[in-house]
Structure 1
Amino acid sequence: MKEYERKQLIERIDKEGATVGADIPESIDVQGEEIDLREFVFEIKRRDTVPSGERDRVEQAKKNLRRERLQRRQRIEDGDITFAEGEEVATAIIGIDRALNALNNLGPTDLEREQQAQQAADRKRWMKFLKKALGNEDSEKGIGTGRGR
């Protein structure tokens, strides 16, 4: 592969919108294991949230996909493949990125933690409101503090 071809492929996989319109590969070899990637991603995305039993599986899959992406990118960077092979590897990398985006954009993974965060935000808003309401009353001298004088 020529240097400019290698740079072209690297630029293609690093482009911000590279995954737009890209398909998640039907299956992919990750760390020597064949994975039905599209089926896995769609199975997980069908749910509103990731159940606690599946959370570890999803996190491990994301970790393995990131590792596989780096290894494939390294193959392109090394340039020890033909341009046609490099294009196949780049297409696979973009498919991996698409799968990672889908897995990273899942809904809340822990309903209890999400609920606690929401309650904390509600309390914070309420306290801010009270401080503002009480602060305005104290700062406006004479209004509401004269007691009939």
Structure 2
Amino acid sequence: MQPYEQKQLLERVNRESATIGAAIPEQITVQGEEIDLREFVFEIKRRDTVPAGERDRVERAKRNLRRERLDRLEPIEENEVDFATGEDLAASIIGIDRALEALEQLEPADIESEAERQEAMDQKRWMSFLKKALGHEDASRRRGGR
């Protein structure tokens, strides 16, 4: 593959708008396993929220898709394939990105626990801010660090 062709493919897969109008692949092989990706994504999206029992499955699927994306991107980055193969890989990467976007947009079903988690994180940030503002963080570092 020529350097300009490689650059063109890399720009295509890394473009923010690459997934606009892109379709989620019907099936995809991820880590050697054939997955009905479109069916999986639509099944999860139909619910509008991710039930607690499905959350692990969705998170595992997202991790596997991210790993597969990197595995498909590497031959393009390393210029190990011809342009035609690179185009096929780029198209599949964009399809994976589209599926990931759809899965990332889902809300957890347990809104109350999500709200509690957000509140706890806000409280932790507030306490950290107060410690810094009042100088307590520096004093505890001096005592504990020596």
**Cα RMSD for the two superposed structures:** 1.7
Pair 1:83-2:83 in alignment: yes
Residue 115 of structure 1: how far off its partner (Å): 4.9
Give secondary structure in 2 for the equivalent of 1:29: strand
For 1:56, give the aligned amino acid: D
Residue 112 of structure 1: how far off its partner (Å): 2.5
Aligned twin of 2:102? 102
1:118/1:72 CA distance change after superposition, 3 Å: closer
CA–CA distance in 1 between the matches of 2:47 and 2:99? 16
Aligned twin of 2:63? 63
Pair 1:41-2:66 in alignment: no
CA–CA distance in 2 between the matches of 1:118 and 1:5? 45
Give secondary structure in 2 for the equivalent of 1:22: coil
Give ranges in structure 1 of 5+ residues lacking alignment. Answer: 121-149
CA–CA distance in 1 between the matches of 2:27 and 2:118? 38
Aligned twin of 2:28? 28
TM-score in terms of structure 1 length: 0.76
Equivalent pair of 2:55/2:108 in contact (CA under 8 Å): no
Aligned twin of 1:4? 4
Give secondary structure in 2 for the equivalent of 1:91: helix
For 1:29, give the aligned amino acid: T
Give ranges in structure 2 of 5+ residues lacking alignment. Answer: 121-146
Residue 110 of structure 1: how far off its partner (Å): 2.4
TM-score in terms of structure 2 length: 0.77
Count of residues in correspondence between the two structures:
120
Residue 109 of structure 1: how far off its partner (Å): 4.0
1:66-95 Cα distance to aligned partner (Å, 9 max, x none): 000011110111111110110000000000
Alignment of 1:128-139 (within 5 A): none
Larger radius of gyration: 1
For 1:82, give the aligned amino acid: D
Aligned twin of 1:50? 50
1:124-147 Cα distance to aligned partner (Å, 9 max, x none): xxxxxxxxxxxxxxxxxxxxxxxx
Percent of aligned pairs with the same residue?
A: 67
